[in-house]
Structure 1
Amino acid sequence: MAYVTTDDGVRLFVEETGTGFPILFVHEFAGDHRSWEPQLRRFSRQYRCVSYAARGYPPSGVPADASAYSQQRAVADAIAVLDGLGIERAHIVGLSMGGFCTLHLGLDHPERAASLVVAGVGYGAAPDKRAGFAAECEKVAEAYTETGARAVAEWYARGPSRVQFQNKDPRGWAEFHERLAEHDPLGARLTMLGVQRLRPSLYELTDRLAELRVPTLVLTGDEDDGCLEPALLLKRTIPTAGLRVLERTGHTANLEEPDSFNAALADFLAAVESGSWRARDPRATVGATMLRER
């Protein structure tokens, strides 16, 4: 356990275990550094695994200034963790809010990423969903102020893409729920408003995504409705992207289906490290089903 300090003076709590090539795990809004335990146990046998608590998530610092929270700042914090640990390049694995951070890290700092795992990404991304998603973010943020984290956790942990986890693994879901209830209300509120609500739409980034050359695995659950279409967008736009869909799975995929998630991650890392994960063959993108240009 250690802390690194960002360029604006926020201390980030970091845990690492194992030796070998580094993997940096970036957590979702409803999680924290503890959310990656099934992955740390599996991959620390071969890799140097790093997990950290984002700003706003104790034991990391909780800045009170709203301007300290943004998508750009989240990426800068991930880079600060790498720098603080002396890591030049790593596999970057993120879920949901952490998946957006992972994707933007690949866009802004491709030299720091050996690969990207972008899981559960897409809420609020579609143009016709932007306004509704922003309104939801504001309601969630208001609830943190008015009722506190424990009250929010009572309904947030039972959302449409979380009940799959609750139904399959009540014990694991209860642990997830309790950790969500422990979140700092101010940090959660400002993260929701500054990072979640204001992040750019994936549909506005297609030109940049088309230039991304870092090996990328897009992973989603088939019952995570808000992420299905954005996952297809990422697959079709990023030349080096592959898409893995976990059946009958919701948003909290790495905890809900840890074995399937770990197997997908292990297969992907093996392909990247062997050099067999390549960009998509341009002949596969001509738009026809059976015919091609001669």
Structure 2
Amino acid sequence: MQRELSQRFVDVAPDVRLWVESRGPADAPPLLLVMGAQASGLGWPEELVELLAAHHRVIRYDHRDTGRSTWSFDRKPYALPELAEDAVAVLDALGVERAHVVGMSLGGMLAQLLLADHPDRLLSATLIGAGALSTRPYAGPDGELTPVGELPGVDPRLVALWSEPAEERDLEAELDRRVEHWRLLSGGLIPFDAEAARELERRIVRHTGHHATSTAHARASTAGMERTGELAVNRVPTLVVAAPAEPVYPPPHAAHLAQVIGAARLVTIPGMGHALPREVHGPLAAAILEHTTAAVR
């Protein structure tokens, strides 16, 4: 199969363009990577993308207000569900009828919107580090029901970091902040590689062309994202990744997510938090590829 590596811009709304990259065999099954809030598509590590691209045409892109895509929120606010429609627009622009979708964090929530609203466009879904778009309570191993609002919350250290007022910083100070963010997101079970995190962020800054940080996704409306009924009857093969060190959606959020989505199963990646360090690339890629292969049999 012939390999490709291409970049382009896709118009998804009036005056809104998204940067899109496609790599891997041109005739392989497409796999769309959807990153989290405030995160460029380059947040998907190169090693992980390459592992997936050995078997798929891997597509990743910058959300609005990240990377090289249009930073539009301040002049024309949007709601978070519109970002799910952007993912559909990316598939349309690349001529992809159906794709495997892998969503991380907010991307995992957008993937749930795709499962609910556009199941005909998905071959499979993989959800990483996401909360459920459902009001259904969590059923514990003993059968006890826990309301969604009573499940464990975000690590207070992250809440404190996110609550700091936005301010202009020089490049090195901004990189310091981002590295500390990754340290907290990593969860602490896998040794944290500060230099690798800093180099990733340097690449993202070079890609973006500046080191400003947008707060658009934190300010965007979350109205209309609940999909309890639609997710319960889902028939798209769905893999939910459980991360023992997850600090944003701590256990048992992943188990809850697998409960509320029909046709879902759970897999645990040892040591993983809310980040993608080198140590999880192999196990995570293997789990995704096993899932995508089984989904099209």
Specify if TM > 0.5.
yes
How far has the Cα of 1:76 moved from its partner?
Answer: 1.1
Instruction: Return 5+ residue gaps in structure 1 as ranges.
Output: 275-294
Q: Equivalents in 2 of 1:79, 1:34: separation in Å?
A: 19
| Number of the residue aligned with 1:157 | 182
2:19 aligns with one of 13, 17, 23: 13
2:283 aligns with one of 255, 260, 276: 260
**Counterpart residue identity of residue 211, structure 1:** V
| Deviation per residue, 1:39-63 (Å, 9 max, x gap) | 3212222221111011111211101
**Counterpart residue identity of residue 206, structure 1:** T
Q: Equivalents in 2 of 1:215, 1:35: separation in Å?
A: 25
Contact kept, 8 Å, 1:221 with 1:245, in 2: the verdict is yes
Residues 192-203 of structure 1 aligned to structure 2 (within 5 Å): 192-194=218-220, 198=222
1:213 aligns with one of 224, 235, 257: 235
Residues 123-138 of structure 1 aligned to structure 2 (within 5 Å): 126-128=148-150
Q: How many residues align?
A: 269
Contact kept, 8 Å, 2:241 with 2:268, in 1: the verdict is yes
The TM-score normalised by the length of structure 2 is: 0.77
Aligned residue for 1:83, secondary structure, equals helix
Instruction: Return 5+ residue gaps in structure 2 as ranges.
Output: 1-6, 135-147
Q: Equivalents in 2 of 1:192, 1:139: separation in Å?
A: 13
Contact kept, 8 Å, 2:186 with 2:192, in 1: the verdict is no
Q: Equivalents in 2 of 1:67, 1:256: separation in Å?
A: 40
| Number of the residue aligned with 2:99 | 90
**Counterpart residue identity of residue 207, structure 1:** G
| Deviation per residue, 1:127-185 (Å, 9 max, x gap) | 2479989xx779737633465854642532221545455x2544433323445667767
Residues 31-70 of structure 1 aligned to structure 2 (within 5 Å): 31-36=39-44, 37-65=46-74, 67-70=76-79
Q: Equivalents in 1 of 2:240, 2:12: separation in Å?
A: 28
How far has the Cα of 1:230 moved from its partner?
Answer: 2.1
The TM-score normalised by the length of structure 1 is: 0.78
Contact kept, 8 Å, 1:209 with 1:237, in 2: the verdict is yes
Contact kept, 8 Å, 1:35 with 1:255, in 2: the verdict is no
Aligned residue for 2:66, secondary structure, equals coil
Aligned residue for 1:93, secondary structure, equals strand
Q: Equivalents in 1 of 2:10, 2:120: separation in Å?
A: 21
Q: Equivalents in 2 of 1:24, 1:117: separation in Å?
A: 10
Q: Equivalents in 2 of 1:150, 1:168: separation in Å?
A: 15
How far has the Cα of 1:225 moved from its partner?
Answer: 4.2
How far has the Cα of 1:219 moved from its partner?
Answer: 0.5
Q: Equivalents in 2 of 1:46, 1:132: separation in Å?
A: 35
| Number of the residue aligned with 1:172 | 196
| Number of the residue aligned with 1:240 | 263
1:104 maps onto 2:113 in alignment: yes
How far has the Cα of 1:17 moved from its partner?
Answer: 1.0
Bigger drift between 61-70 and 43-52 goes to: 61-70
1:25 maps onto 2:47 in alignment: no
